[in-house]
Chain A
């Protein structure tokens, strides 16, 4: 009931928020990568990608997340059409 009311107002239960925050924080802790280093890595990866495929280097997204004891690094980027 209470959860129902909260979700009506668009609020996630704080338990889910805590879980989400922990998955992110632990990924950073476990890899020893802070935000600055991660952005540095993103920029370098974006530069490498741009050498091979047409991309918007600014729009490359990087994320590390952890489930159980496994940590996953995801880099995602849209590739622009060739004749754009």
Chain B
């Protein structure tokens, strides 16, 4: 039985789809079977980020309505043997599916695949409720900005209420700006959200360039962001212990120096 992980954030434009595409691709590179599910019905984008937009025949709503078997709606990624995409419908509304529909769809996928990654739409309404319905765990993506962290905090509360354990990915962090005192650091974000952290993706031009081409950054390998995505995928798969777990580097130093309180 596989694991279903929803990638969510509350706020739009913080990198949910990019994170879904890259973590999914990285997990497939590690040898796991992976399905990426685009739950953003009406505003699908995971297909273009993956570069698979020209191969869509059926979509998630077709599969749920029984217009085709689920297997038939899956698009196989030709670059990797064990990676599939279940695209969203572009013409339906969020209320075309229910949380129960999603729960049974995701359950069916989990039988045949190691990882089911669900790309959640922005917002906390119907689309969000659908996307988290079948999830065993969640990855909350936040950028180091007040608006993104505020929305992430709302989502963390909603996930807790739905009993979905969540971990954090901080996206687009710029070490230079942090050093200059003009950006929240990853440990600031952890301290505020009080979530376990999976990793921090550096702001990286390469991600923009590869996304333009419809290639997940991890397939082109070399960039700093790609390396961090691969590391996070290893952590997710349990192949690597969390290097920067809930306790940040600075907190550890602080503790060592007696500046920060140790946990009880």
Q: State which of A19-27, A45-53, A76-84 sits at the interface with chain B.
A: A19-27
* B-chain residues with CB within 8 Å of residue A18 when the two chains form the complex: 145-146, 184, 188
* A3 at the B interface (CB under 8 A): yes
Evaluate contact between A2 and B150: CB separation under 8 angstroms. no
Evaluate contact between B153 and A29: CB separation under 8 angstroms. yes
* A-chain residues with CB within 8 Å of residue B157 when the two chains form the complex: 30
Evaluate contact between B150 and A26: CB separation under 8 angstroms. yes
Give Cα distance in the complex from A6 to B181, angstroms: 10
* Range of interface residues on A (Cβ < 8 Å): 10 to 19
Evaluate contact between B194 and A15: CB separation under 8 angstroms. no
* B70 at the A interface (CB under 8 A): no
**In-complex Cβ contact of A15 among B150, B153, B154, B185 (8 A):** B185
Evaluate contact between A22 and B181: CB separation under 8 angstroms. no
Residue on A with the closest CB to B177?
A: A15
0 or 1 for each of A49-82: is its CB under 8 Å from B? (1 = yes):
0000000000000000001110000000000000
Evaluate contact between B181 and A3: CB separation under 8 angstroms. yes
**In-complex Cβ contact of A19 among B154, B182, B184, B194 (8 A):** B184
Interface residues of B (CB under 8 A from A): 145-146, 149-150, 153-154, 157, 178, 180-185, 188, 191-192, 194
Enumerate 20 A-B pairs (CB-CB under 8 Å) in ascending A order: A2-B180, A2-B181, A3-B180, A3-B181, A13-B181, A13-B182, A14-B182, A15-B183, A15-B185, A18-B145, A18-B188, A19-B184, A19-B192, A22-B192, A23-B192, A25-B150, A26-B153, A26-B192, A30-B157, A68-B194
